[in-house]
Structure formats: C-alpha cells, structure tokens
Copies of this chain bind each other. A is one copy, B any other.
Amino acid sequence: MSDLLGRLRGRGWRMTSQRRVVAEVLDGEHVHLTADEVHARAVRLLPEISRATVYNALGELVSLGEVAEVSTDGRAKRYDPNARQPHEHLVCSGCGLIRDVHPTGDPLADLPQQERFGFTVSGAEVTYRGLCPACA
C-alpha cells in the first residue's frame, strides 16, 4: 500500500470506477502481474471491466511513471507497481516470475545470498535506455 490512488487524484487523473479498480489491484501487490492477471483481479472487484480498459489504464500509469513495464523475453509484459524506488529484478527463466531485489555494491558482482530468494542465479544483464540520434 503506497497510496497510489491518492497520488493519481493529486495529479488530476480523471477517476473512473475502472481506473480506480486497476490502481487498487496494483497498489499493494508485491509480485509483477501481467495485463491479463490485472484484468482477472479487477474483474473480481468490478465484473464488467473489459480487457481493453485495463490495457488503457496500464498504459497511462506507465506514461505517468507510476508503474513500470518489465519485459520478460517473449512472454506477456509485466507491470511493476514499485516504479518510484530504484531496484533490480530477478527473473525466473522457467515461469517468468519476477522478484524485486535491492543489491548494494556492484550490480554485476554476485547477488548476495540473502537477496536470491532461493533462485539459482545464472547471470546478470544491464540495459541502458534512451533515444538514439535518429529518434532524439
């Protein structure tokens, strides 16, 4: 719980029952859900909500910087409600599960044991994002 709704209202985000439900589903989640999982949970709170609306709302939360999109090699995108504080990801190559980790020190050094959550870590990768000269 981090008062995502409060921040959204404060920023003048037009509030509808659908958007509120999507925000409620994300806020307080510790795992990283796919759009379809967000929809499934939203349906429990608001049975009529459509998938398209969930995609719309997620896209906007990402634009607003409140939620981060995490790509996981071919699988469906996952949404990280913890976009405001820096952290890294531990991704399961088997099922796509993602956990947040907060290593200190060199990110490419071995992940500390207590940060592995039982994972067998096979590697780390760093990606820099930005705009290339043609797109800037």
A interface residues with partner B (beta carbon < 8 Å): 69, 71-74, 77, 88-95, 97, 99, 101, 106-108, 111, 116-136
Q: How far is the CB of A83 from chain B (nearest CB, A)?
A: 11
Q: How far is the CB of A8 from chain B (nearest CB, A)?
A: 22
On whether A124 and B132 interact (CB within 8 A), knowing A73-B69, A107-B108, the answer reads no
A10 to B112, CA, bound (A): 37
On whether A93 and B128 interact (CB within 8 A), knowing A108-B107, A136-B120, the answer reads no
Contact partner, A135, options B71, B90, B94, B135, Cβ 8 Å: B94
Beyond the given A74-B77, A90-B127, A92-B130, please list 15 additional residue pairs across the A-B interface where CB-CB is below 8 A: A73-B77, A89-B126, A91-B127, A93-B130, A93-B131, A94-B132, A94-B136, A107-B107, A107-B126, A118-B136, A119-B133, A120-B136, A122-B131, A123-B129, A125-B127
